[in-house]
Amino acid sequence: MTTVELTRFRVEPARVEELLRARPAMLADFRADRSGFLGARLVRLPGDEWLDIVTWSTPEDFAASRAKGANLPGIGAFFAAIAGLVSAEEGQEPPITGS
């Protein structure tokens, strides 16, 4: 089962463009440096909040990524645009089975 990371955070309106400009480099850094990174979707929510939905091959890959933090410039630039964390959750995506 893949691991899904759900991170909800706030971004000040004046920093939204900075966040969006930093996103491609953050994803490139994840692809280059984070074992088990499968992909990510960024969703804009009401009230200056955003949801980042990131998928990982295993819970261990996600834990290793979390331990690295903002270790590369692209990741650091993306994190720097975030005003505050609202919530962070981890779950497992069950395999889809046919009937």
Please report, rounded to a whole number, the percentage of residues in the chain having pLDDT higher than 70.
99
In this prediction the pTM is 0.92
What are the Cα distances from residue 62, in Å, to 28, 48, 58, 59, 66?
16, 26, 7, 5, 6
In a domain, 96, yes or no: no
Domain count, the chain: 1
pLDDT at site 9: 98
Helices (H) and strands (E) in the chain, counts: 3, 4
Residue 99 has pLDDT above 70, yes or no: no
Q: What is the pLDDT of residues 40-85, one digit of tens each?
A: 999 999 999 999 999 999 999 999 999 999 999 999 999 999 999 9
In a domain, 99, yes or no: no
In a domain, 81, yes or no: yes
Q: Minimal CA–CA distance to 19: which of 29, 11, 7?
A: 11
Rounded Cα–Cα distance for residues 86 and 32 (Å): 27
